[in-house]
Amino acid sequence: MRTDLIYRVEAEELTKENLTKILTNHPEIKFISLGAVDLIGHETDTKIPVKGFLEDLDMFLYGYAAQTDGSSVFLPKIATLHNAKVDMKADLTVPWFIEYNMGLYDIDANKPIGTLKIPCYLYHDYLPVDSRHLLTRSVDYFKKSAMIMLKENPDLLKEYRIKFEDLLEVELTSATELEFWVKSPSTHGDIEALSTSQELKEQYWSKTRGEVRSALEETLILMECYGIKPEMGHKEVGGVRPKLKDNGQFEGVLEQLEIDWKYASPKETGDQEIFVRNLVREVFIRHGLEVTFLAKPLENVAGSGEHTHVSGTLLLKNGRRINLFHSIQKDFMSTLGYGALMGILKNYEIINPFVTSSNEAFKRLKKGYEAPITIVSSLGYEPEIPSRNRTILIGLLRDENNPMATRFELRSPNPHTNTYLCLASLLMSMVDGMDYAKDKERNSLLKELSKEKSEDYPYLKKGRVYRTEKDVFDDFTDEQREDLFGAVPENVYENSRAFDLYPDKVHILSKDNVFTSKLIESYNEALLYKWYTEINHRVIPSLMDEIRSLRKRHKDSEFIEVKQNWD
């Protein structure tokens, strides 16, 4: 990788003087791109010449960077035809990345053309209406609420062996695991071969070869350059072995990969995920390979997930950090940890529309493909022995040698999940559970979380089971799963109905004016529009072609007697 390029500008460097210096000293950076994320998860992209940016730098940094008529973002019932003005405001609190076009060089500098990507907020009628700002508000609400709980409940602080005067602030961290499929442009999947390879576990963590290896390694190296800190790249469960041609090149590439990187703040997690997705596409294209982030690109084969991790930390004035959810006692987690998990489980019906929001996503969440199909959690058999149940919705992850590793893993998201809104809805629900648990004993919370269906508690009500250490796929029938863990939506429409069916849970999202009714209404409208548009223009036409291809295989005379019996 080139060491003479600048890849990242830190938040503390985002001043008028410093940006002018950087852009003047790096003439290969020719453009500015304003990247805002609407409620449905679409990111904007622009090409603004650097000259114009520098001439109006004050406005770009401290005013509204640009204005759109609403056609470039999807905000139904907000940016309407008769009130369409949407303003973009630069976010100066996160790092900015420089994206390079390796196919176009600056002749004088002999460097690839660069574009400075500026994360932005969207404003309509002077109010924020985008995914990034919504997550920002939810993070602020979580931190403020947690600090109040700790201040008003001294027994909570005893669990961490600190005093409130020692505490500086509450921090949040999160991370995602990005899965995707990669293939040669002309390759079409042999479902039987793919299914067999999956059953035999031939691909999982096996060696990458050829252009797939080169592209994966280049991606990981570039991530390091951007300061995103990759932890691992590896092959996933799906795929078949490519064939080696006479010229030494592989053909028939069809493999599933995963890339993981270190945790960051929730907003940076969303920013990094979008950036890495684009980076993966660009790098693999340069190596002659196609990439798809669809949740279920191939039938009867494992889909692509994006497990999402979230954790909290207490930052002390002396610089020490303590995991908010870890218990220093012989217990699965802290009091607030129990509350956070219970909040997610109780309110998942109104989290799910922000997680599973497409036809492809629902096709992935099927029995037998290691994707969650019920609202249930797992803690492990004993506090002393951490374990991982891969059949549940959300799990507690722990490392007996690393208290800071204690976190929750939500297994239902996919690469097209809007990470900002997913995390925001999780945080709001976690606060609700923590508020209930703040003055309870850990033993009583564990008992409530592990309740039987017939038991009724103040928070987790009668009629549901919320924890199991069993195999959800194989140890229960379909009827038993629905009876114990509740019925789950089968499509986007059923999922979106949660906003009408659970008004008390929707109220939890709206606390502190985080998810306003207008934002939820706009998101729901966009969700349903995208759903039925895809059905009308993709699903139905594909089924029509399939039905029209069917041919009658029998002779009518063979069924005359049967027909007479029915008559």
Q: Are residues 564 and 424 in the same domain?
A: no
What backbone phi and psi angles, to 5 degrees, belong to 182? -130, 140
Domain count, the chain: 3
Tokens of 67: 């204005």
CA distance 383 to 517: 41
Q: Are residues 251 and 345 in the same domain?
A: yes
Q: Are residues 409 and 544 in the same domain?
A: no
Neighbouring residues of 396: CB distance < 8 A, sequence distance ≥ 6: 332, 333, 337, 341, 377, 378, 379, 380, 406, 407, 408
The H-assigned helical ranges of 68-130 are none
CA distance 346 to 432: 9
List the one residue out of 70, 59, 2, 12 whose CA is nearest residue 32. Answer: 59
**What is the model's pLDDT at position 556?**
65
Q: Do the domain assignments include residue 425?
A: yes
Tell me what the pLDDT averaged over the chain comes to: 91
Q: Do the domain assignments include residue 94?
A: yes
For every residue of 452-482, which 3-state class applies, written as one string?
CCCCCCCCCCCCCCCECCCCCCCCCCHHHHH
What CATH number has the domain bearing residue 315? 3.30.590.10
Q: Are residues 345 and 408 in the same domain?
A: yes
Q: Are residues 538 and 498 in the same domain?
A: no
Q: Are residues 186 and 265 in the same domain?
A: yes
Q: Do the domain assignments include residue 60?
A: yes
Q: Which residue has 């049967």 as its token pair?
A: 562
CA distance 343 to 349: 11
Residue 333 has pLDDT above 70, yes or no: yes
CA distance 70 to 410: 33
Neighbouring residues of 13: CB distance < 8 A, sequence distance ≥ 6: 19, 22
Q: Do the domain assignments include residue 62?
A: yes
Tokens of 309: 């991790």
Q: What is the pLDDT of residues 109-167, one digit of tens each?
A: 999 999 999 999 999 999 999 999 999 999 999 999 999 999 999 999 999 999 999 99
Confidence category of residue 446, pLDDT binned at 50, 70, 90: very high
Picking from 83, 102, 129, the residue at the C-terminal end of a domain is 129
Q: Are residues 47 and 94 in the same domain?
A: yes
**What is the model's pLDDT at position 444?**
97
**What is the model's pLDDT at position 221?**
97
Q: Are residues 223 and 338 in the same domain?
A: yes
Q: Do the domain assignments include residue 100?
A: yes
Q: Which domain holds residue 531?
A: 517-567
Confidence category of residue 401, pLDDT binned at 50, 70, 90: confident
Q: What is the pLDDT of residues 208-243, one digit of tens each?
A: 888 999 999 999 999 999 999 999 999 886 665 665
Burial class of residue 562 (count of CB atoms within 10 Å of its CB; 0-12, 13-18, 19+): exposed
Q: Is the dihedral of CA 404, 260, 220, 354 positive or negative?
A: negative
Q: Is 516 helix (H, G, I), strand (E, B) or coil?
A: coil
Picking from 98, 129, 160, the residue at the C-terminal end of a domain is 129
Pick the residue with more confidence: 453 or 297?
A: 453
Q: What is the pLDDT of residues 14-55, one digit of tens each?
A: 999 999 999 999 999 999 999 999 999 999 999 999 999 999
CA distance 95 to 8: 7
Q: Are residues 293 and 359 in the same domain?
A: yes
Tell me the HSE value of 382 on the side-chain side, using a 13 A CA sphere.
3
What CA–CA distances, in Å, run from 285 to 52, 216, 247, 492?
31, 12, 20, 32
Pick the residue with more confidence: 365 or 472?
A: 472
Q: Are residues 502 and 537 in the same domain?
A: no
What CATH number has the domain bearing residue 88? 3.10.20.70
Q: What is the pLDDT of residues 475-489, one digit of tens each?
A: 999 999 999 999 999
**Composition of the chain by helix, strand, coil, percent to 5:** 40, 20, 40
Q: Are residues 100 and 189 in the same domain?
A: no
Q: Are residues 259 and 369 in the same domain?
A: yes
Which range among 323-327, 356-360, 369-373, 435-439 shows the weakest confidence by mean pLDDT?
369-373
Judge contact between 397 and 404, C-beta under 8 A: no
Burial class of residue 246 (count of CB atoms within 10 Å of its CB; 0-12, 13-18, 19+): exposed
Pick the residue with more confidence: 244 or 37?
A: 37
Tokens of 91: 């976010």
**What are residue 121's DSSP bridge partners?**
89
CA distance 8 to 94: 11
CA distance 365 to 357: 12
CA angle 47, 50, 51 (to 5 degrees): 125
Picking from 92, 111, 129, the residue at the C-terminal end of a domain is 129
List the one residue out of 136, 133, 119, 172 whose CA is nearest residue 39. Answer: 133
Q: Do the domain assignments include residue 1?
A: no
Q: Do the domain assignments include residue 194?
A: yes
Q: Do the domain assignments include residue 2?
A: no
